[in-house]
Structure 1
């Protein structure tokens, strides 16, 4: 099957942002767009919690009622999902996307995405799902598990999405972030978008050489490109640069051992993703 933009939607406030950003990506990449909704039918309640010390007949009757209730819940969840998928498809179609598909699966989101990984060119997912707490700095646990398990680019989006005109990549000269620069340079997703390259660390000769390579790669591909080497704490430095230059999307490499690549392993990464109000493209 042709690799596609896959957008995971649910009943969270982030679904509209997911829909709009996925439509943008589908058109920019000239790739099919599939909306995915996963119904998690895990039992809501353990039987011993409700049966207690009832007599055998009453207990069996209660378990029958619980089974019937679970079945009704599953049907409602599936119908709810179908309505959400239709709404997402209609919204994307109205924005000009033609090659549209919807899929509904039973199971968990993480397991489903891992099964479909070979079909995914780009995954679009909200910062939190409908079952997550809605605190502004809360990060959905599904997102963390998906990032750790899926070896595909992942676009994490806020509640609303506007196509970016300025994108920033956190760069450290590593293999992962060099691939990120090359992706920025060649991907139709970023055609016509100004690219900013930021290195966090000392202004050494080696770092200056790495930065010049990144800027030359982007300019050679026709991008407007600029960058800086800034000293300081990684998260604060990146956030300050975003504010100074009105950055509208962040690109980060996922996993590794250097200061920037470590972001998706420890607490700094979680903090970056929690606090940002921007779309973040995570690369593997």
Structure 2
């Protein structure tokens, strides 16, 4: 598997790249090649006096490369110029990346100047599953908020096609996953069962739980009712996962569940890492 790791060379990005536990997690799910990418924004001109942006970035990437190679990965580096999320997606398509990884400080990537806006834009446009690796915010020497990426995954599903696509990632995540919490948030259009034994939602979650348990993963289910984004965030607070897994499109019959209403809210406000899986037509 190939992973593209985007970095703006900030302390947050450095913390994500040098997290040995995170690298071990990537190895367990089958990643063996990592492409390090940094983008010089279009509005930064090469001719600015006294500043060699591309040279400085190439030097920094060499340091990161040595760190990752020591953990047994093959590493390629890319220093490019342009709009960050567009260039990252372009390289991801070129190398046929299986994952895109971006670091983001604190709970709100929308408040972070460079990598924050990149994380937000990638959440809307990523051409491959996107991991938003949460890094401590109010700290001069930050660390990842959750060092283990996939140990405990909270999987949020509305039973849409894209939610099913997100569930398929467990085929490789299971190498690093010990616990999964399956969450569904009822909407007004979901049928209300007369009894717990007659609940189609619980039955469908149970089917997914059986699949995971056959793989030796401890699994629990959680059915909630209310605003999807609010309830997914509440479930995260209750279950304390290392990563929240969600498809980046909601149910097609519920337009308000499109990205920007739920997925982007999870990226912005989740405490844990977030793994967004785009639709097949991304």
TM-score tier after normalising by the smaller chain length:
0.7 to 0.9
CA distance in 2, matches of 1:190, 1:263: 30
Unmatched tracts of structure 2, length 5 or more: 136-143, 194-198
Secondary structure of the residue aligned to 1:123 is strand
Q: So what's the TM-score if we normalise by structure 2?
A: 0.77
Which has the larger displacement, 12-21 or 239-248? Answer: 12-21
Which of the numbers 69, 84, 100 marks the counterpart of 1:123?
Answer: 100
Per the TM alignment, residue 281 of structure 1 is displaced from its structure 2 partner at its CA by: 0.3
CA distance in 2, matches of 1:236, 1:259: 20
Structure 2 counterpart of 1:71: 47
- CA 211–74 in structure 1, closer or farther in 2 if over 3 Å, else same: farther
Structure 2 counterpart of 1:65: none
| Bigger Cα Rg | 1
What value does the CA root-mean-square deviation take over the aligned residues? 3.0
Which of the numbers 5, 8, 13 marks the counterpart of 1:7?
Answer: 5
Alpha carbons 2:242, 2:272 under 8 Å: kept: yes
CA distance in 2, matches of 1:24, 1:73: 41
Structure 2 counterpart of 1:167: 153
Secondary structure of the residue aligned to 1:225 is strand
Q: So what's the TM-score if we normalise by structure 1?
A: 0.76
Counting helix residues as a fraction of each chain, which structure ranks higher?
Answer: 1
Structure 1 counterpart of 2:27: 27
Structure 2 counterpart of 1:154: 130
Which of the numbers 208, 211, 216 marks the counterpart of 2:210?
Answer: 216
CA distance in 2, matches of 1:208, 1:27: 34
Q: May I ask how many residue pairs the two structures share in their alignment?
A: 251
Per the TM alignment, residue 77 of structure 1 is displaced from its structure 2 partner at its CA by: 0.9
Alpha carbons 2:110, 2:268 under 8 Å: kept: no
Unmatched tracts of structure 1, length 5 or more: 45-69
Q: Residue 105 in 1 paired to residue 90 in 2?
A: no
CA distance in 1, matches of 2:60, 2:208: 41
